Amino acid sequence: MLKPTNVSLYLKATSQVVSNNIKPLHPNVVITKKLVTPTPQLSLTSFTLSKTLPLGNVRVISGPAVSTQVRWAHTDINVPDWSQYRRDSVKSSVAKSSESEDSRKNFTYLIAGAGTVTAAYAAKAVVTQFVSSMSASADVLALAKIEIKLAEIPEGKSVTFKWRGKPLFIRHRAADEIATEQAVPVSSLRDPQHDNDRVQRPEWLVVIGVCTHLGCVPIANAGDFGGYYCPCHGSHYDASGRIRKGPAPLNLEVPFYEFPDETTLVVG
Amino acid sequence: MAANITKITFFRATATRGLATCPPVPIGGLTEYEIKNTTLPNNLVVASANNESPISRISIVVRAGSRNETPDNAGVTHTLRICAGLSTKNSTQFAITRNIQQVGASLTCSSDREVVAYTLEGTKQAIEKTLPFLTEVATQQVFRPWEVAENVPRQRLELALRSPQLRAIDLLHKAAFRRGLGNSLYSAKYQLGNISSETLQHYVASNFTTGRTAVVGLGVDHSQLVNYAQGLSLETGEGSTTPSPYIGGEIRSDKGGNLAFVAIGGAGGALKDTKERLAFAVLQRALGIGPQVKWGTTDNGVLSKAVGGDVQYAISAVNASYSDAGLFGTLIAAPSASAGKIVEAVVKVLKGGALSDADVNRGKNQLKTSVLLDSESGSNIIGCIGSQAALVGSAQSGSQIAAAIDSVSTADVNA
């Protein structure tokens, strides 16, 4: 109620400089942010200023997607601070990036190059590991070599072992057999090989017991030449395993073997 | 590909042979065309002109401008214009926008103190495809409350973007007419968000009637336009228009800035009185509306000569003719230091000056030029034809108006 005594209150305006909250003048309010609009063009000449003056009847035109659009710009998005990841030489806002450009690039290229080489090595290792797992396993490899104690084979005897799925003949030759075989003329043989080319030590003949004709197993100490005889088609081999008579074309195969010490033979 | 063949080889050859005998049509359409007016039995006015332009324009104009606002629904026309293109009975806002944009047409809504116009512009094929959307947007709006509320920031932006010149003219109208024609084109800030969907629907229901509507076309066939207008589903009726007489007054608004904008006005010529209206238009041009030569600095108008001086300022005579009232005056833009002197000089001319024959002839020529230049551009003239059709009942072409201007005499202008 505007009583005459109250009018003086309305003739002046008061604001509190330091408030003690006993006599509040206004309730607390929240001041919202002001809208932002594009600034209008300044008209600096009389001509342009006169062109902005309306001539009378003003008509305003707008439409869907025409003249004004309000686009929502999200100003509350906080862009994180990436300075932890940035390089020290360009962190300052007045640093020229062209000055540190070479050192930054070289560092990056060095790291990238070293990393690529390491990765290539690692990849190669992994791939070879996986591919080699498809090769022969340990038990198969273990069967690839055979170790024979020579003391157990008496002289004159031919012993057969199973090696790599094939029969292996080991013959402890007597001295007269050795002499006979070494005296055979090489030119008369179908598959010319001297005995010395087929044995490392003359008293030990190591051949694979598979007939070179069609693959049967020859019988030891049989045949006309004191060696082996294949019963399938009648191939005669001598005490050096060379073909002497019969349809077989080649001598018995001599595998790779070695004598690691005096009493042991390792074939394969 | 088949379509390309028919376009390129055979038909084009015959078409060019046929048209070779006719003079070529300018790219913007003919400049001399005749406007056909029809008034339907339900009092809907149809006006169209075929200017053989590649762009066709159709406008639905309704007498629902801001003069029809009451204190209860102040700001409803601003909201109505902003809400053009929102969901309608048979179409969503998305469908309207997409279909119209997809064919390259454009839909705008323009509002002034007396009319609200919905205009669809595009090539003939585009108009054929999107004409139903124009009908929807103009006559079948449903004003969903959430869509209306979403558009409030856009209204706020428009209010913030108003120039001081515009505000000066707005305040001049308010001082001159108070209510009715004095209502601002824009909503008041406190009314933003207060115009509800029901208010809009009631306003549309009471003002969008056939007696207050006109359908205007440019570059379309008149009989087809009449058929289209007959198919519009609007309520019949005249609605009511309160008269808005000139009263007069003064309003000052301090908004800062380094230029002062002073609008001085008095009663002008109404649209229904042709002689007065044309005389005031000629007077406006005779007094001067700024330099008419591009980048020129001299304004040969009477006002500019009276003020003289070398300060940066701009003076323009202001003339607005409404259906039953008018406003005539000047708008001065000047730095605040020299504004007072300029205002005094201008008022002296307005109160007592008499114009010579040379000034009046200059005014007549400039008015004729501007009317004819305006009528060459379809986008300008569709608004003028629309207003004439809605407010007066028939539209006149540019050349007819130019002929009428010739008949204005110096005595009419000086009176």
Q: What is the pLDDT of residues A157-175, one digit of tens each?
A: 888 988 888 899 999 988 8
Is residue B169 within 8 angstroms of chain A, CB to CB? yes
User: Number of helices (H) and strands (E), helices first, in chain B?
Assistant: 17, 9
Q: What is the pLDDT confidence band of residue B243, given thresholds at 50, 70 and 90?
A: confident
Query: CATH 3.30.360.10: does it fit domain B35-231?
Result: no
Is residue B322 within 8 angstroms of chain A, CB to CB? yes
Nearest Cα of chain A lies from the Cα of B17 at a distance, in angstroms, of 41
Whether A35 maps to a domain, the answer reads no
Q: Please name which of B198, B174, B199, B203 lies closest in space to residue B186, comparing C-alpha atoms.
A: B174
Instruction: Find the mean pLDDT for residues A124-137.
Output: 91
Q: Which H helix or E strand runs over B5?
A: helix B2-8
Domain boundary among the residues A135, A158, A174 is at A135
Which of A49, A67, A70 lies at the smallest CB-CB distance from B314?
A: A49
Instruction: Find the mean pLDDT for residues B78-95.
Output: 93
CB A182 within 8 A of CB A195: yes
Whether A51 maps to a domain, the answer reads no
Q: A182 and A112: one domain?
A: no
Whether A31 maps to a domain, the answer reads no
Per the rule left: phi > 0, alpha: psi between -120 and 50, beta: everything else, B260 is beta
Q: What is the pLDDT confidence band of residue B3, given thresholds at 50, 70 and 90?
A: very low
Which of A35, A44, A58 lies at the smallest CB-CB distance from B166?
A: A58
Per the listing, tokens 């004004």 go with A68
Exposed/middle/buried for residue B412 (C-beta within 10 Å: 0-12, 13-18, 19+): middle
For B76, list phi and psi in degrees, rounded to 5: -70, -30
Per the rule left: phi > 0, alpha: psi between -120 and 50, beta: everything else, A262 is alpha
Instruction: Find the mean pLDDT for residues A5-16.
Output: 73
For the ranges A28-32, B43-47, B337-341, the one whose mean pLDDT is highest: B43-47
Amino acid at B43: N
Is the pLDDT at B204 greater than 90? The verdict is: yes
Whether A192 maps to a domain, the answer reads yes
Residue of A nearest to B327 (CA): A56
Per the rule left: phi > 0, alpha: psi between -120 and 50, beta: everything else, B29 is left
- Within its chain, how far is the Cα of B383 from the centroid? 5
Residue of B nearest to A63 (CA): B108
Average pLDDT, chain A: 85
The CATH class that applies to domain B259-414 reads alpha beta
Provide CB contacts within 8 A for A82, sequence distance 6+.
none
CB B141 within 8 A of CB B69: no
Can you give the pLDDT at residue A69? 58
Whether A42 maps to a domain, the answer reads no
Task: Give catalytic residue positions of A.
Answer: 233
CA angle B35–B38–B41, rounded 5-degree value: 170
Considering only CB atoms, which chain B residues are within 8 Å of A59?
110-112, 383
Can you give the pLDDT at residue A41? 80
Q: A167 and A247: one domain?
A: yes
Q: A158 and A257: one domain?
A: yes
Nearest Cα of chain B lies from the Cα of A66 at a distance, in angstroms, of 7
Contact A64 B331 (CB under 8 A): no
Check for a shared fold between B35-231 and B259-414: yes
Q: A214 and A125: one domain?
A: no
- Within its chain, how far is the Cα of A136 from the centroid? 21
Can you give the pLDDT at residue A202? 87
Structure tokens at A211: 């007939």
Classify strands A204-208 and A166-172 as parallel, antiparallel or unpaired.
Answer: antiparallel
- Measure the CA–CA gap between B391 and B115, rounded to whole angstroms: 8
3-state secondary structure of B203: helix
Domain that holds residue A115: 104-135
Contact A50 B314 (CB under 8 A): yes
Q: A158 and A235: one domain?
A: yes
Instruction: Find the mean pLDDT for residues B147-168.
Output: 88
Residue of A nearest to B258 (CA): A42
Contact B314 A69 (CB under 8 A): no
Instruction: Find the mean pLDDT for residues B210-230.
Output: 93
Domain boundary among the residues A135, A155, A175 is at A135
Q: What is the pLDDT confidence band of residue A130, given thresholds at 50, 70 and 90?
A: very high
- Mutating which of B86, B93, B312, B366 best tests the A interface, going by the most A Cβ atoms within 10 A? B312
Q: A162 and A256: one domain?
A: yes
Domain range list for chain B: 35-231, 259-414
Contact B165 A52 (CB under 8 A): yes
Instruction: Find the mean pLDDT for residues A29-50.
Output: 78
Contact A63 B297 (CB under 8 A): no
Instruction: Find the mean pLDDT for residues A45-54.
Output: 85
Per the rule left: phi > 0, alpha: psi between -120 and 50, beta: everything else, B295 is left
Whether A83 maps to a domain, the answer reads no
Is the pLDDT at B6 greater than 70? The verdict is: no
- Measure the CA–CA gap between A247 and A220, rounded to whole angstroms: 18
Exposed/middle/buried for residue B333 (C-beta within 10 Å: 0-12, 13-18, 19+): buried
Q: A163 and A231: one domain?
A: yes
- Measure the CA–CA gap between A135 and A130, rounded to whole angstroms: 10
Q: A110 and A159: one domain?
A: no
Helix ranges (H only) for B89-242 are 93-103, 124-139, 145-150, 152-160, 164-177, 197-207, 222-230
Q: Please name which of B309, B332, B317, B316 lies closest in space to residue B259, comparing C-alpha atoms.
A: B332
Residues A228-248: tens digit of each pLDDT: 999 999 999 988 888 888 899
Whether A237 maps to a domain, the answer reads yes
Considering only CB atoms, which chain A residues are within 8 Å of B314?
43, 46, 49-50, 52-53
Is the pLDDT at A140 greater than 50? The verdict is: yes
Q: What is the pLDDT confidence band of residue B376, given thresholds at 50, 70 and 90?
A: confident
| Count of domains for chain A | 2
Q: What is the pLDDT confidence band of residue B217, given thresholds at 50, 70 and 90?
A: very high
Chain A residues in contact with chain B using a Cβ-Cβ cutoff of 8 Å = 35, 37-38, 40, 43-47, 49-70
Can you give the pLDDT at residue A67? 66
